[in-house]
Amino acid sequence: MQLMETQAFVIIALFVLSFGLISGRLQRTIITPPMTFVVFGLLLSARFLGIIELEIEDEAIRTLAELTLVLVLFTDALRIDLKLMRREYQLSLRLLGIGLPLTIVFGAIVAATMFKSLSFWEAALLAAVLAPTDAALGQAVISLPRVPVRIRQTLNVESGLNDGIALPVVLLLAALASSASAVGEPGYWITFVASQLIFGPLIGIAVGFFGGKLVEKGTHTRWMNHTFEQISSLALALLAFALAEVVGGNGFIAAFVAGLTIGNTTRSIAGPLHEFAEAEGQLLTLFTFLLYGAVMVVPALERINSTIIVYSILSLTVIRMLPVAFSLIGMKLRPLTILFLGWFGPRGVASILFGLLVLERHDIVGHEEIFMAVVVVVFVSVFAHGLSALPAANYYADHAKSLPNQNIPELHPITEMPIRYHHHHHNHKLREKRQ
């Protein structure tokens, strides 16, 4: 067994190195990193080469999932400038404020109708787990300069915030879907709201504000060097998570709020923190996709049925597209733009990680069925959105170029925010540049 583990490390390390050597070239093709890592994970699975033989509920997977979720939530929040959002990002705010809740409600109704074995709260939980989008699955859509800046940044910012916004909803619905008898008692809900929705955010604000100020002070006085300024992003994310868990709050919410607080109270250090944490986050995210392919996909595909297939297709199309179209009423966008924004709501790492949180909840009767449905939806999304990203981005860019440049909402110039999992030097140029 020990030898097998060592072999697995050798094979995975060689694969990461090999992929890295051609990553720049692959960026110009329809092959995305999540697709590649999922396929490689499948090859290593017990069903094929048998190199990775972990169980879904293995402690190693849980640890990686928790660490990844902490870093993803922290770095996504870190890059969001709330003042800028209020001023220039009406489309993102509508997608988050109207589109996201509607996606959960609509998804819950469809799931409750289709999955006869799930209670209504379990169906709603499935919809909430699948609500966050992961723009990294269709990287070309948010990084191709030819796509109008307002449109790609709308998807970028939506993807950055919707996982953190959906998380409390997922936790609340998990409690409602639980078969534990205490759920009906008022005392349970007071404790639940205090622990999940008050302690977590308070710890996040405190760690983000005071931690951010300390790092800023250390940087300005030159007591802290650049390397440790970057490393402090990991320390702050983990500190927020761990402190919240110690006092009985939710660590994931704390990590998200800490990132949001730093990004909006100490912007001078947000760049270096984001740059470092993003590299670590990308590595962990790709490992998550690899383990997802190796451990989760085959069991889900073995239990697949027509209900899950149809729900997967609906989840990635009408359950996403109708709320998007509804939330953008009055914004004077062209139908193709609304279709483009509606289609590029890929489901990725946040849904996998939220799904794992649900899978741990044995007090939820349908926890396995919810998880299997999530795994299938993400699997379809990885390939459907990955393969369509570059052709669709180019097609839409050509369409946008043909528009008369007179007060077209799609072409309004906005200040760019950093893009998740993109080259730092390119990000820097984007931040400097106005389209």
DSSP 260-288: HHHHHH-HHHHHHHHHHHHHHHHHHHHHH
**Predicted local distance difference test score (pLDDT) of residue 216:** 92
Q: pTM of the prediction?
A: 0.92
Residue appearing with tokens 């489309």: 91
| pLDDT value at residue 388 | 96
Is 146 strand, coil or helix? coil
Q: Are 146 and 401 in contact (CB under 8 A)?
A: yes
Q: Which of 101, 102, 108 is nearest to 127 (CA)?
A: 108
Each residue's pLDDT, cut to its tens digit, for the chain (435 residues) gives 455 678 888 999 999 999 999 999 998 899 999 999 999 999 999 999 989 888 888 898 989 999 999 999 999 999 888 988 888 899 999 999 999 999 999 999 999 999 999 999 999 999 999 999 998 899 889 989 999 999 999 999 999 999 999 999 999 999 889 876 556 677 777 888 878 889 999 999 999 999 999 999 999 998 999 888 888 988 999 999 999 999 989 999 999 999 999 999 998 888 888 888 888 888 899 999 999 999 999 999 999 999 999 999 999 999 999 999 999 999 999 999 999 999 999 999 999 999 999 999 989 999 999 999 999 999 999 999 999 999 999 999 999 888 887 678 888 888 888 776 554 434 433 333 333
What is the number of other CB atoms lying within 10 angstroms of the CB of residue 51? 19
- Residue-range domains of the chain with CATH: 2-7+31-52+60-432 (1.20.1530.20)
pLDDT at 428: 39
**Residues contacting residue 236 through CB under 8 Å, at least 6 positions apart:** 74, 207, 208, 211, 212, 215, 258, 262, 273
CA pair distance 358, 310, nearest whole angstrom: 22
The candidate with the shortest Cα–Cα distance to 287, out of 13, 25, 5, is 13
Token pair belonging to 164: 């953190």
C-alpha to C-alpha distance for 172 and 123, rounded to whole angstroms: 13
Residue 62's identity, in one-letter code, is R
Please give the distance of CA 28 from its chain centroid, rounded to a whole number.
Answer: 23
Q: Can you tell me the distance from the alpha carbon of 263 to that of 252, in angstroms, rounded to the nearest whole number?
A: 17
Q: Which of 287, 404, 240 is nearest to 44 (CA)?
A: 287
Contact 34, 378 (CB under 8 A): no
